[in-house]
Structure 1
Amino acid sequence: MERLATAEDMRAYGTRLAARLRPGDLLVLSGPLGAGKTTLVQGIAEGLKVRGPITSPTFVIARVHPSLGDGPPLVHVDAYRLGGDLEVDDLDLDASLEESVTVVEWGEGLVEGLADDRLEVLIGRDDADDVRSVTLRGVGARWSDTPSDQVEE
């Protein structure tokens, strides 16, 4: 578990995490409202060097951010308003999964079937001091050799 005190720390963590990502990766972000999920995605986007700005796609559900270089595009999804598997299927996320890095906020229980391998990111928030905790859990062969809760500095 990593403890992050500021939004800048969360973005920097996302940038470090992006260095480990490759096309086909699925990240499932969970945590309460205001925990910093979109802030983490901003850091991932910076690290992947994709076109921004990165804002919460709550009302549009999904946004594709093309690479500004030769890296993979970022597909940023907010599943908060989705009612179930059928609505996830309607997004056709599997159509771009292999060539993109796909990050799904609020995706727990909805998108695990998209890929055998995924990185689950749980973000907690301590209301007393506003510090965020980030815990990573790798699922599948892709993440089997990765410490489940560490991002290298």
Structure 2
Amino acid sequence: MTFSHPYNLDEAGRIGAAIGAALAPGDVVLLSGDLGAGKTTLARAMLKARGLAGEAPSPTFAIVQPYAPPEVDLPIAHVDLYRIEEEGELIELGLDDYLYDGALLIEWPERLGAQGWPEALVLTISGSGDARVLTAGVPAAWEARWPLR
């Protein structure tokens, strides 16, 4: 199922919170869009929905920013692959390990190359300024719990 939703920046928190509340162990959310599109804003709203107090730092330099209880109610790794140059570097990150009992939020999933998760929720943000469009590729595992209709 593909879903497209126009929104403005004021709605980004609500949208991210709705998706974050629906996260379950084993979920992978891929966040695509140009620089400044709002990927981190959506990811932060998802983390806040899971109980994170304060603002999550961007994982641009750390690459992987893990969150675990009691900080959040579901272990989540916020990943930014912008600085990944070769597919081989991904193995060192051990991303699959987070899926045993938690979820992954991955910015710049284009850097995954041939690796990836076919059942991932794919969120693409387009537009600029206050006029954005969220296009979601909603896999079967998400159809019953997809919060935006």
The TM-score bracket by the shorter chain reads 0.7 to 0.9
SS in 2 for 1:85: coil
Aligned residues: 146
CA RMSD of aligned residues (A): 2.3
Provide the rounded CA distance (Å) in 2 between the counterparts of 1:16 and 1:112.
30
1:74 to 73, 76, 80: 76
User: In structure 2, do the counterparts of structure 1 residues 66 and 53 end up closer, same or farther at CA, with 3 Å as the change threshold?
Assistant: farther
Please tell me whether the aligned partners of residues 63 and 77 of structure 1 are also in contact (alpha carbons under 8 angstroms): yes
Shift of 1:138: 2.3
Provide the rounded CA distance (Å) in 2 between the counterparts of 1:77 and 1:112.
17
User: In structure 2, do the counterparts of structure 1 residues 89 and 83 end up closer, same or farther at CA, with 3 Å as the change threshold?
Assistant: same
Provide the rounded CA distance (Å) in 1 between the counterparts of 2:121 and 2:15.
15
The residue identity in structure 2 corresponding to 1:151 is: L
- Per mean C-alpha deviation after superposition, the further-off stretch among 10-19 and 52-61 is 52-61
Q: Residue deviations 1:15-53, cap 9 Å, x none? A: 011122101100111000110000001110011113553
Provide the rounded CA distance (Å) in 2 between the counterparts of 1:88 and 1:95.
12
Identity of aligned residues (%): 31
| Structure having greater relative contact order (Cα 8 Å, sep ≥ 6) | 2
Shift of 1:82: 0.3
Q: Which runs of 5+ in 1 are unaligned?
A: none
Q: How does 1:32-111 map to 2 (within 5 A)?
A: 32-50=34-52, 52-68=54-70, 71-108=73-110, 110=112
The residue identity in structure 2 corresponding to 1:5 is: N
Q: Which runs of 5+ in 2 are unaligned?
A: none
Using the size of structure 2 for normalisation, the TM-score is 0.85
Provide the rounded CA distance (Å) in 2 between the counterparts of 1:111 and 1:22.
25
1:5 to 1, 8, 16: 8
Using the size of structure 1 for normalisation, the TM-score is 0.83
User: In structure 2, do the counterparts of structure 1 residues 145 and 108 end up closer, same or farther at CA, with 3 Å as the change threshold?
Assistant: farther
Provide the rounded CA distance (Å) in 1 between the counterparts of 2:145 and 2:7.
21
Provide the rounded CA distance (Å) in 1 between the counterparts of 2:8 and 2:125.
12
Provide the rounded CA distance (Å) in 1 between the counterparts of 2:86 and 2:99.
19
Provide the rounded CA distance (Å) in 2 between the counterparts of 1:112 and 1:102.
18
The residue identity in structure 1 corresponding to 2:28 is: L
Q: Do structure 1's residue 142 and structure 2's residue 141 form an aligned pair?
A: yes
